[in-house]
Amino acid sequence: MRVQAIMTAAVLVLTAAACSPAEEKAPAPTEAPLAGRAAIYAAGEQNAEAFVRALYANAAAPLANDPAAAAITPGRDPLYTRTLNALVGADFHAAKGEVAYLNYDPVCACQDADGFALTALKMTPDGDKAATAEVTFTNHGQTHQQTLKLVREGPMWRIADVVDAKGKSLHDALMAIAEKAEG
């Protein structure tokens, strides 16, 4: 009899639970969208075009006090390939405390941006781990064009070279400085 009473009570509890309204779950916390360098790094792990678009979105609206940007020293920028970083580091050391050749942001070809906007982008794959991005953007009311040579190193895309509209290569200019410093 006692077993029957326990079984009946269990059935009543289960029936009541089945008939009661479903518990409302608290909405999952939403993560804040990535911004600044964190957004660029995440996009760089997706594909070359996402990486380039994130580079120029950051140039248009840089994150103030970006902790990832503050931690970067010359020659150790995750946006650049190992080779380009080595050349940037050589440029910095060759300057010996003076202003280095690369004293501007190669992405925007500027030291500061005003009214910056990416206006055109043409991506050309150069294999599985290389791509070329032809970009057109405006800054300070002027239109600029340049070409980014991209390489996938490790988990993300990186800048291997920036070539301006006149065909001047950042890689080649920095290589000349490094070679001169060796000699």
Is 14 inside a domain boundary?
A: no
Q: Rg of the chain over CA atoms, in angstroms?
A: 27
Residue 55 is assigned to a structural domain of this protein:
yes
Rounded Cα distance between 88 and 81, Å, is: 10
- Counting as low any pLDDT under 50, the low residues of the chain are 2-3, 5-23
pLDDT 10s digits, 73-102 = 999 999 999 999 999 999 999 999 999 999
Examine residue 23 and state whether it is found in any structural domain, yes or no: no
Judge whether 2 lies within some domain: no
E runs forming strands in the chain: 117-125, 130-139, 142-153, 156-164
Tell me which amino acid residue 62 is: P
Is 140 domain-assigned?
yes
Query: Does the residue 71 lie in any domain?
Result: yes
The number of distinct structural domains making up the chain is: 1
What is the per-residue pLDDT across 28-49, written as a single tens digit (0 to 9) for each? Answer: 666 768 889 999 999 999 999 9
Helix and strand numbers (H, E) in the chain are 6, 4
Is 18 part of a structural domain of the chain?
no
Q: Give me the residues paired with residue 156 across strands.
A: 153
Domain span including residue 65: 35-182
Long-range Cβ pairs for the range 70-78 (8 Å, 24+): 74/100, 74/102, 78/37, 78/41, 78/156, 78/158
Domain of residue 156, CATH code: 3.10.450
Domain-embedded: residue 160: yes
The secondary structure element, H or E, covering residue 13 is: helix 2-19
